[in-house]
A and B are shown apart, each in its own frame.
Chain A
Amino acid sequence: MSTTTSRPSTVQSSATSLAASAKFKTFAIVFSLTAPVVYVLCELFSLPLFTYHPATNRIDFGWAPGRSGEGPAMYWYGWVVTMLIGSTVLGWLATLLPEGATKKIPLVLVWLLPILALIPLIWSLRPFWEKGGLL
Chain B
Amino acid sequence: MSVAAFWTILLIIHGLLAVALLGALTHQAVAVSMPVRQAAGNFVDRFRAVPAAGYATAVCILWVVTFIMGAWIYTKYRITIRIPIEQAGYWKTQGFFELKEHVVTIGLGLLPAYWYFWKNARDPQYDSVRKWLTVVLAGMIWFSFLVGHVVNNVRGFGS
Contacts and interface: CB of A to CB of B under 8 A. Distances in A.
Interface of A: 1-8, 10-12, 14-16, 18-20, 24-25, 27-29, 31-33, 35-36, 39, 43, 52, 54-55, 71-72, 74, 76-77, 79-80, 83-84, 87, 91, 107-108, 110-111, 114-115, 117-118, 121-122, 125, 127-129, 131-135
Interface of B: 28, 31-32, 35-40, 48-54, 71, 74-76, 78-79, 82-83, 89-96, 98-99, 101-103, 105-116, 118-122, 125-129, 132-133, 135-136, 140, 150, 154
Contacts, number: 182
Nearest to B120: A19
12 contacts: A3-B40, A4-B36, A5-B31, A5-B121, A10-B53, A19-B119, A29-B112, A32-B112, A74-B75, A76-B74, A76-B101, A131-B91
Contact of B52 (A5, A12, A71, A87): A5
Given A3-B39, A31-B113, A15 B119 contact: yes
A111 B132 contact: yes
A12 B118 CA distance: 10
